[in-house]
Chain A
Amino acid sequence: MVEKIINENYKNNYRLNLILEKNLVELNFDWLKFKILNKVLVGSGRFYIGQKKYDIEINYSPYFAHRNDRIYVKSENIVFDDRIHVYADLSLCLYHPQIDKPPFQTIPLYKLIPRIIEWCIYYENFKVYKVWLGKEIKH
């Protein structure tokens, strides 16, 4: 119930909240650029691990079902596999909805950005070792 109220508040002030999210991310990371389109914060950018490039697409909105974030690695040909922690639409799973999320709050987007990099590192390791080397809770 409380969570619902907080979410409604976020929605009521969605524009201000999304601007804050945008500013926080762009303050801390210069490889991502965002704009607000139809109540969704839409961003993209490219980072490198060594010489290899990773193109990322981020959609973030309180109007999405279940979670605000939809984050994709566009430069990788990812095939669904429950060992690599992606959802069915191939968006990344970057937290456990109960254990990692503060009660009655959302996780600020800028805190998810390092996890995108980590996901890519664990994904590269998975391709080699066939095991997810990050902390995980299996379904």
Chain B
Amino acid sequence: MDRNIFTNYKLQREELLARIAQELELDQSRKNKMESAYKAVYELLKKESNFFKDLEILIYPQGSAKIGTTVKPINGEDFDLDTVLHIYDPYYNHSPKAIYDALIKVLENDSYYKTIMEKKKRCVRLNYKSDFHIDILPACMKNINDYEKIAIPEKALNNWSFGNPKGFANRFLNNANSVSKSVLKLFSDTLTKASIESEPIPNAIYEKTPLQRAVQLVKRYRDIYYQNKDFRVSSIVITTIISESYNSEDSIYSTISNTIGKIKNDYTISVASKTKFKIFNPVDDSEEFTDSWTDKHYESFNSFINHFYKNWLLLEESFEVSGERYIELFGESIYKKSLQSQLKTFSGNSTNDLIKSSGIIISGNGRTDKSGKINKTKGVKNENYHSYGG
């Protein structure tokens, strides 16, 4: 495999897309904080001496945190972590209100949680100062001996609904791992074997599968697209349609091109044949994610997919043609930051003076020698400054 990403646009694009998606993730210290936070709630519930005393329970993340498709919220909003408080006891042994109230009671009796707790319709939100919140959804078993399906308090706590977040996550991860070896894994192996002298390769960038990265990137565009629009397409819909259209593609680019192309095509066919375009929960086909969609929702979905796909196809072309599409799809600052880190990491291996010099000045290690050549050792130290005029 060609290791020089600056002479291979497809490889550079793929690596850049992974960097952009990685930039969208929460940093590890934030992830650790969140994990400690829900584990602390679990410990508190385990110590409780009434309702939870003889019950087997577990708190675990569901949704994007579980399947590795988290995306930092846009405009500095709080990140929300969805968790399930799974009570391993069949729902018919309890009332919806009883399990909800039991959770509330434990938190209200604690001087700390009392101050950060917020009651929601069917879950409890804990608002932490470190710009994140955790939603805890209390749930029982749907069937005895079934440790996946859950029964959730619904409708003013008078009823139950059913879900299967673990099953959904397992199905998604099975799809994601169906690729034999991704382009970036292969690239990463090549770099490791060649022991290339460069900035350390941050392996985390290459660990995720093309499907996970694809979901992150489409969600990012969703967040940008819907900043001033209503009828936002939900994360569960984006995740489901991409995952269910995925065919073990080995790159992020082909994953998005093929899945979004297929979805766009399916939508067009359903409109032409005057049948309703429906999206079902892949682990429970009695649940239709589109059942509450109005015409406005459909118009919004169609418009979002079309805008995304039109921009995306232009990434087929070189940066000279597609550069502004990256900015439109993911935002300028994240595109710029990802390009800077890519140049810092790989410019040292390039034989091209422009690329080499770019990496040096972006890293802030530049000196300028008498002839005007940028280097790391000789000449006047390049100072830190800001371009401003224009």
Contacts and interface: CB of A to CB of B under 8 A. Distances in A.
Interface of A: 28-31, 47-50, 52, 81-87, 92-97, 99-100, 110-111, 113-115, 117-119, 121-122, 124-125, 127-137, 139
Contact of B387 (A49, A52, A93): A93
B323 A129 contact: yes
Contacts of B354: 49-50, 52, 121, 124-125
A118 B379 CA distance: 14
Contact of B380 (A97, A113, A131): A113
A95 B388 contact: yes
Interface stretch (B187-195, B305-313, B333-341): B333-341
A107 B368 CA distance: 17
A93 B389 contact: yes
A85 B388 contact: yes
Contact of A28 (B357, B379, B388, B389): B379
Size range of the interface on B?
35 or more
A99 B324 CA distance: 29
Contact of B390 (A52, A118, A133, A139): A139
B370 A28 contact: yes
Interface of A is mostly: mixed
8 contacts: A28-B380, A31-B370, A83-B390, A94-B387, A95-B385, A117-B372, A130-B324, A139-B390
A32 B382 CA distance: 17
B15 to A, nearest CB: 14
Q: Which 8 A-B pairs have the closest CB atoms?
A: A93-B389, A130-B323, A47-B372, A82-B390, A50-B353, A85-B387, A114-B368, A96-B388
A133 to B, nearest CB: 6
B345 to A, nearest CB: 14
A68 to B, nearest CB: 14
Given A28-B379, A125-B358, 17 more contacts: A29-B368, A31-B371, A48-B373, A84-B390, A85-B387, A92-B389, A96-B386, A96-B388, A99-B386, A113-B372, A114-B380, A114-B381, A118-B366, A121-B374, A128-B323, A131-B323, A131-B336
B341 to A, nearest CB: 11
Nearest to A119: B387
B386 A100 contact: yes
Interface centre among B327, B340, B354 (most CB of A within 10 A): B354
Contacts of B372: 29, 31, 47-48, 113, 117
Interface string B351-364: 01110011001100
B231 interface: no
Nearest to A114: B368
A100 B389 contact: no
A130 B361 contact: no
A14 B162 CA distance: 83
Given A97-B388, A127-B320, A130-B324, A111 B361 contact: no
B51 interface: no
A117 B366 CA distance: 11
B19 to A, nearest CB: 13
A85 B336 contact: no
A131 B332 contact: yes
A27 to B, nearest CB: 9
Contacts of B27: none
Contacts of B352: 50
A130 B319 contact: yes
Contacts of A128: 319-320, 323
A122 B366 CA distance: 14
A49 B358 CA distance: 11
Contacts of B357: 49, 117, 121
Which of B323, B358, B390 lies at the interface centre, i.e. has the most chain A CB atoms within 10 A of its CB? B390
Contacts of A125: 354, 358
Contacts of A82: 390
Contacts of B384: 135
